[in-house]
Structure 1
């Protein structure tokens, strides 16, 4: 795995913020070219199919993302320095999700030229995951063709995330009437917003998931007022909504909109909860290998995939987006072994209607 750890160092040293991933995409394409693997591109996305593709075989997608968030302000190391300290490799995107990206590439190369695979493989290095952008995985679904299973690389300590909460952001506006703060005038929109925020704080959705828990509402931003002596006639606040599989984002929106007096608008409904059945062969295979499974509170490219998927990868989600982010080289090596073990002997039945 030394070759792929070196690749990760090269990836860390180039800036690959969401929508600015071209240097990272070029590195992935360079490696595929050097290995004689044909690939396709779409903007900053790159994907390749295994050499001995067999029509009619089930298709497994190996996916992780090349983009990173911007570095936090309190880094004590160079975010782009790719510094090794013992077993630890420090750098922006090392944990989320560069380690998964290069490890899944190693897995793809490992299986690529085998003649007797009971499935086909697609390796996809996608863009814009960190912002759920339209030019990332969402733009590739039609190009990839039929996919029966996706293994999405994200830092999970190589345990299986079999479900993922959905994400919806609500922009809410409380309306009042302006007046002078020194006199009993106007209707304070800020107070109205606070009443609604208290309702959201106290509300509990009826259906709880065994894997994902409750739907979570978090008010994360609020803004009102133009000057100290004017009663604000408008107050805006933002609600972060994390849905479980019992509620679509549309259903959660309607519940919230009916609960409060403020005007409610959803930025998007498309990042719904996702998951895979416990009886699925990949989950059973993981359990046989001694892996555990859980429901993830964070979203990934799984949210836009219309086919079964699990999220699993080296690293720890708690390190993501933090200063002095790091990955252990031993985690990458162990991740490779577990990915290979998951696929070795895996028997999938191809779905007759593909992604339909």
Structure 2
């Protein structure tokens, strides 16, 4: 049974790779997944380009585990030397766009769902959700689905973690900063309202400030000035300076707290673009985490963002593949990683259901 599920997962992943599925263009892969579930005799639903199903003996009185990963991809970068949609296996590697991020995880979770689908007397219900727009943190993916899905008590988000457990994930707040000065001719007497120099105090504060609360799993909040723009002519003092701050938030703070602290310590007008991309975590004593440790896996805090940030329940990020390969040229996942992902998802869930 396991070998059959592993082979079916690999074949499904190859089929997904062969279909272009950029964010907001996921209709063809949604159709493929919908038909795949139907062919398995599983009652499946589609909302926009999100495909989901519940286990055969779903019981509202029981807690529910969400198995979630995405079927959209980024666009291939210019450094590709292979056809990103060929899904070729060579030297034990399956090449193709989305193979590692996060196709291997998605098909592994689907296989695990199938293995538990028609089992009776489970401790938990299962919901599988193959969602869209993850790569752009869009509004029509998992965020759209949350009010539609049954109440979720705990989620496994499929992303490449080398099958270790990311028990926390940093959130993200992007802020736009602006300071207005007085424009003038650069040849005239010194202009003490030059916004370039007016901004230095705030930029230095952002660069050096350390948020006092430190997360056990994610460490420190990290702020980075990633963009800056001022002036268009060499002989004109600009009227304003604009900059962008990328702030990676730990579970020690809410996004709103971060925005408030920055506003209180800067003279520039610093406005968050959004406060919705929150940090994520799971109680280290959760039975799923304990099951992972029992099976020899490590736990860690992830610096990268995923659909975890849109969930309103405890969650863990877990999946085959290596995050360092995500969005790389000639992306690949090892065939054995796909097989191991199927086996491990089933094994760890068996420990708790």
TM-score when normalising by structure 1: 0.94
* CA–CA separation in structure 1 for the residues paired with 2:86 and 2:196: 46
* CA–CA separation in structure 2 for the residues paired with 1:93 and 1:333: 17
2:90 to 85, 94, 103: 85
Aligned residues: 347
* CA–CA separation in structure 1 for the residues paired with 2:210 and 2:62: 45
| SS of residue matched to 1:211 | coil
Task: Judge conservation of contact 2:34–2:45 (CA < 8 Å) in 1.
Answer: no
* CA–CA separation in structure 1 for the residues paired with 2:190 and 2:41: 75
Shift of 1:69: 1.3
Greater CA deviation, 20-29 or 193-202?
A: 193-202
Query: Does residue 218 in structure 1 map to residue 224 in structure 2?
Result: yes
- Aligned equivalent of 1:56: 61
Deviations 1:217-271 (A, max 9, x none): 0111111212222111111111111111111111111111122221111111111
1:143 to 140, 144, 148: 148
Aligned positions of 1:61-140 closer than 5 A = 61-140=66-145
Aligned positions of 1:224-303 closer than 5 A = 224-303=230-309
Task: Judge conservation of contact 1:193–1:236 (CA < 8 Å) in 2.
Answer: no
Query: Does residue 312 in structure 1 map to residue 318 in structure 2?
Result: yes
Shift of 1:340: 0.7
- Aligned equivalent of 1:19: 24
* CA–CA separation in structure 2 for the residues paired with 1:53 and 1:199: 53
- Aligned equivalent of 2:194: 188
1:46 to 42, 47, 51: 51
- Aligned equivalent of 2:212: 206
- Aligned equivalent of 1:175: 180
Task: Judge conservation of contact 2:172–2:277 (CA < 8 Å) in 1.
Answer: yes
Once superposed, what is the RMSD of the aligned Cα atoms?
1.3
Shift of 1:185: 5.2
Task: Judge conservation of contact 2:161–2:322 (CA < 8 Å) in 1.
Answer: yes
- Aligned equivalent of 1:158: 163
Shift of 1:118: 2.1
Greater CA deviation, 179-188 or 277-286?
A: 179-188
* CA–CA separation in structure 1 for the residues paired with 2:214 and 2:146: 30
* CA–CA separation in structure 2 for the residues paired with 1:240 and 1:65: 24
TM-score when normalising by structure 2: 0.95
Deviations 1:11-35 (A, max 9, x none): 1122211111111111111101111
Task: Judge conservation of contact 2:161–2:320 (CA < 8 Å) in 1.
Answer: yes
Deviations 1:286-326 (A, max 9, x none): 11111110111112111111111111000011111111211
- Aligned equivalent of 1:341: 347
Greater CA deviation, 36-45 or 191-200?
A: 191-200
Shift of 1:168: 0.7
- Aligned equivalent of 1:28: 33
- Aligned equivalent of 1:6: 11
Task: Judge conservation of contact 1:97–1:155 (CA < 8 Å) in 2.
Answer: yes
